[in-house]
Structure 1
Amino acid sequence: MLTGPWRPAARLRRALSPRGALALHRVDGALSFALRAALAMALSALPMALTGRADQAVYAMLGSFTTSFGRNLPYARRIRVLAVVALAMTACVGGGVALAAWARPRDGEAGAVLTVVATALVAGSAKFACDAARLGGLGAVLLLVSFAVAANGAATPADVLPRTALAAGGAAVAWALAVAGWSVYPDRTLRRQARALVGRRRRAPQILPDLALPVLIAQTGTLARPDSAVDPARASGPAPGAVDPTTLRATESRAAELVTGPAHGRTAVLLVPALRMVLGTGVAGGSALALGLGHGYWAALSAAAVLHSINVRTAAQRAVQRTLGTVVGLLLALGVLALEPRPMALVLVIVLLEFFLEYVVARNYGLGVVFLTPMALLLTDLAAPAPAGTLVQDRALSSVLGVALALGCALAVVHDRAAVRAERALAACAVASERAEGALEDGNAAVLPLVQARLAAAVVELREADDAAAGELWPAEVDPTELAAAERRAYLLLDRLVRRG
């Protein structure tokens, strides 16, 4: 074991290791999700483009980013979550346009500084909200993109309401498409994820918070764990589909609140990543402004993309992914802009890029950046045309600046609360396991579903807390053997609870 002055250096080297940055993940339902996202953008933007207002179609497209959230949410929760996201996306666009009309960041330094500050505050707020709601993926970055694009465009007071309405329309279309499948196949998402668990094609803890673990256990008869925490000899049970759909939805509705419950009371844990986001985007945007970079808000967006992570290690991975993806994406954008496409053609290309973005981003964020980069450039060119070489140069310089400053910010702001969270999660999981054992001994069937849901929430929180703390510079004082034993005990108890129920 390393001791003395070498131990901090080893932790720093481990945290900044880009290992895993190029790994590809298996994703279920990626094609249907990508088609839905592209359709939402097309339905939102094409009417404006066909009437000769392609520049205004940008704001409808920003609203349609709503569909990027809630990829794996069950329909019952997706309806509520995406409604809130739609409101947030509309507010970001409306607030951005209002700021552009009032501060006029293009015309004076004071307005530009105010816009940088506002962008940083929006970034931090979006990060905090997405983490609290356990919304992964591009999450806060897309909210920030909507605000930044709107805030850095040319606008007058008369533009605020029309552009906000366009964003609201795009968000409404995205929401409607995202929940349309409920009337046809209300349990599609739950059953697909149940099959994924049984097939051991994913790490269970990564998806259970959004999918109501007790429901999946009820569907599949057991919880399939990649590390065989549940005895394979006891892994038999009813096949997916054996549970009545009405009962399934009712159980999911009751369990969802319990499974996501540990997010409450973690304000201190959530504040540090949000603070990193505020500082990183603020410093990046301010530095780009001081250096006179055109489209300097792209530096803030690059910083936000790196800092929209769970710890220093994932921030380092995002930095590698962002850099490599941006290089390829800029070449793609340069090829498209060199053809000098008409506005209608630009809209169609952006829709196509949205399809590829949503199809690959869950597999690897770097692949997503390959398509996100030209999409951002084309959106900017659509709203305010500029020479292709200027756009590409601004994007390249801003990306380098944003990524470098984001990494520095991630290292400068030490997240010691992540270690505390892991320690508390281990204790909470032990308490939940003891209560589950007591309930099994008492034999009171009425309390078993509640005990089961609370134990599921505790073990999910334990895995998430440990993953977050493991990539920080401040280590958690948790014995890995003790943690593994606690997880194994919890999953064995969950298996017993299902069989008893």
Structure 2
Amino acid sequence: MKMLAELFTMAPGNKDHQVATRCAIGVFVPLITLVLLDRLDLAVFASFGAFTGIYGRNQPHATRFFLQVRAGSLMLLVMLLAALTARAGVAFAVPAADMVWLQVFATTVVAGGCSLIVAWWRLRPAGSLFHIFAFAAIASIPNQPPLWQGMLVAGLTVAFSLLIGMSSRAVRSRRTPWVWPHSVPLTRAEERAALLESIGYIVAAGLAGTLATLAGERLGFGHNYWAMVAAVVPLVGHSTRHRVRRGVQRIVGTAIGLVLLAGILLLQPAPWQTVLVIAACQFGAEMFIARQYVLAQIFVTPLALISTLLVVPASPGILLRDRILETLIGAAVGIAVVLAPTVWRRLRAPQPPQAARSAHPS
């Protein structure tokens, strides 16, 4: 019962509405602009560029700007590498089946590498979940838009997010002193923890991607990168119990979110209405992501899938099925990776004398 209660415990708020408003505006304006220009093929670049706004949540303005510049630069690099990976597959005529495995391998490298960079730069949220999502989603788009156009949209969206992040400086009462932060190098213990965490990301993302791809080939479902994203969710947390709980919350929140998504899709919203839904879901996700992960996932699920539908139309039923199956695979892998060190230590621990005598009677 205690574990069940913890799944739905609500942490106290901390100006979450301010962050949620900034993030909602940061994604709405670029997407509605693309709708008006009839260029929804570029929407994925705007969506991921807007992730810049989630960093530096309640930091002073100078620190927030510093962190968001770093976060936006890293996201731009990830999107560029993803687009180049997709083009390399076409240029070298890589068969579709082999391309899927190339994407799993490349996404796994991104998972480990970005985890290290995020730790080195002390970015929050920690980990490489957003980078895994961005890289795999863009690399898997079959018909890539012109590279310069995609990166231009991404760059402008990042710049707009930076502007939104600084917008409250226009209000004198909200303005914070402009003190440029100093980079604090990681301690030896922090370096070791960052390295171990990056290995965990590599193992979780790689294993989840492999299992999801193999299962997809046999059972006929796709979007293996959703499993890779779900697999790294449990890796963020201050204790094993908290990490396992995040994995379970991911499954529960996704299942409820799919019900909400089904209701939205039944309404068959127009593109401009879809953008409004995305902005509303972004607001809801940021309102609860630091307070109640199940509630946040209820908004994240339609946010992710509707954004996918904007760029690559697909059967809603197939998307719903793929999402829950991939989430189950990924969350299970992530929880297993979290529990593995504890299980290994217990197996390696010497048995008490009494237990040893019981196990080996004379």
Normalised TM-score (structure 2)? 0.85
2:105 equivalent to 1:117 = yes
Q: RMSD of the alignment, in Å?
A: 2.7
Instruction: Letter of the 2:282 partner, please give it.
Output: E
Aligned match for 1:77, one of 63, 69, 92: 63
Counterpart code for 1:116: V
State the match for 1:135 in structure 2.
Answer: 123
Aligned to 2:213: 289
Equivalent residue for 2:155, pick from 159, 164, 168 = 168
Mapped partners of 2:60, 2:267: distance in 1: 43
- Listed one character per residue, the Cα deviations across residues 260-305 of structure 1 (whole Å, up to 9, x for unaligned) are 5555663212111111111111111111111123111111111122
Gaps of 5+ in 2: 348-362
Question: Does the 8 Å contact 1:38/1:354 carry over to 2?
Answer: yes
Counterpart selection for 2:166 from 179, 186, 194: 179
Q: In structure 2, which of residues 337, 342, 352 is the aligned counterpart of residue 409 of structure 1?
A: 337
CA distance in 2, matches of 1:122, 1:286: 15
Work out which of the two has the higher radius of gyration on C-alpha atoms and give 1 or 2. 1
Cross-structure match for 1:387: 315
Separation in structure 1 between the aligned mates of residue 19 and residue 280 of structure 2, nearest angstrom: 14
Contact 1:38 1:351 in 2 (8 A): yes
Alignment of 1:467-486 (within 5 A): none
What CA deviation, in whole Å up to 9, does each residue of 1:338-374 have, x standing for no partner?
A: 2222222222211111111111112112211111111
In structure 2, the partner of 1:364 is 292
Matches for 1:98-497 after TM superposition, within 5 Å: 98-103=84-89, 108-137=96-125, 140-156=128-144, 159-185=146-172, 253=180, 257=182, 260=184, 263=187, 266-292=190-216, 293-413=221-341
TM-fit CA distance, 1:173? 0.6
Once residues 65 and 301 of structure 2 are traced to their aligned partners in structure 1, the CA distance between those partners, rounded to angstroms, is 29
Q: Is the 8 A contact 1:141 1:308 kept in 2?
A: no
Tell me if the contact between 1:97 and 1:155 (Cα under 8 Å) persists in the aligned partners: no
Residue identity opposite 2:317 in structure 1? G
CA distance 1:30–1:19, change in 2 (3 Å): same
SS at 2:7 equivalent: coil
Q: Deviations over 1:197-228 (max 9, x none)?
A: xxxxxxxxxxxxxxxxxxxxxxxxxxxxxxxx
Determine if contact 1:316/1:407 at 8 Å carries over to the other structure.
Answer: yes
Q: Which residue of 2 aligns with 1:45?
A: 31
Alpha-carbon distance in structure 2 between the residues aligned to 1:473 and 1:183: 56
1:55 to 1:341, Cα distance in 2 relative to 1, 3 A:
farther
Instruction: Compute the displacement of 1:43 (Å).
Output: 1.6
Q: How many residues align?
A: 340
Query: RCO higher in 1 or 2 (8 Å CA, sep ≥ 6)?
Result: 2
Deviation at 1:55, TM superposition (A): 3.1
SS in 2 for 1:266: helix
Per the TM alignment, residue 183 of structure 1 is displaced from its structure 2 partner at its CA by 5.0
**CA offset at residue 143 of structure 1?**
2.2
SS class of match (2:146): helix
Unaligned runs of 5+ in 1: 1-13, 190-244, 417-471, 475-501
Instruction: Please report how far the alpha carbon of residue 149 of structure 1 lies from its aligned counterpart in structure 2 after TM superposition.
Output: 1.3
Answer whether contact 2:67 2:123 (CA < 8 A) is retained. no
Amino acid at match of 1:320: V
